[in-house]
A and B are shown apart, each in its own frame.
Chain A
Amino acid sequence: MELILDIFTGICFFIGSLSIIIGACGLIKLPDVFSRIHAAGMIDTGGTAFFILGMVFQTGWTLITVKLILIGVFIFFTSPVTSHVTANLAREKHIIPVGKKIGKIL
C-alpha cells in the first residue's frame, strides 16, 4: 500500500517539477509582459496543484492535510488577482501588447 502511495507521490512531484521549470523557462523566453503572465500562471496553477496533491498522498487524513489544502485554496484565489492587477496596471501605463489586435480594444 505504501509503495503505491509513494509511486503516486513521485509521479505528482515529477509533473509538478516539470511544470514549474517550463514555466520559469517561459518567463525568460517569451517576448513581453503580457505573454510572461501566462508562464507565471503556469507556475501558480500547475506547479502548486501537483506538488500539494503529491504531499496529500503522503500524509493521509490528518489536520496537516487540511492545512495543505488551505494553502492550495489560498493560492488558487489570489493568483488570478495579482495577475489581473499587474496586467491592468501595465495597460493603464500605456504599454501596448505585441501581436495582432482583433476589433476595437478598450
Chain B
Amino acid sequence: MFLAGLIACAITGVLILVRIILGKTTFDRILAVNSLGTVIVISISLHGFYSNRPEFLDIAIVYALINFIGTVAVLKLFSTGSLGGDK
C-alpha cells in the first residue's frame, strides 16, 4: 500500500520534471519546483512508514520549512535583485 503511494509520487515527479524542462517563463519553473517539493515531502513520510521507521517525519517537517523559505527567497531575488540589506 505504501509502495503504491510511492510509485504514484514517482510518476507525479516525472510529470512535474517535464514541466520544469518545457516551462516558458521563470514563474512556471518556480511553481513546478515548489510542487515537486510538496511531492517530495509526501514521499519522504511514505518511505518512513514503508521501512517501519517513522522518525523520517522530522526530516519531512524540515524539508517543508526549507521548501517554503527557498521558494520565497528565489522569488525575492528575482524581483528585486538582492536578498535585502545594503546592496
Binding site for B on A (CB under 8 A): 6, 9-10, 13, 16-17, 20-21, 23-25, 27-28, 33, 36-37, 40, 43-44, 47-48, 51-52, 54-55, 58-59, 64, 67-68, 70-71, 74-75, 78-79, 81-83, 85-86, 89-90, 92, 95
Contact = CB atoms under 8 A, between A and B. Distances in A.
B75 A21 contact: no
A7 B29 CA distance: 37
Contacts of A89: 27, 75, 78-79
Interface residues of A, dominant DSSP: helix
Interface in B1-40: 1-2, 4-5, 8-9, 11-12, 15-16, 18-19, 22, 25, 27-28, 30-32, 34-35, 38-39
A55 B49 contact: yes
Interface of B: 1-2, 4-5, 8-9, 11-12, 15-16, 18-19, 22, 25, 27-28, 30-32, 34-35, 38-39, 41-42, 45-46, 49, 54, 57-58, 60-61, 64-65, 68, 71-72, 75, 78-79
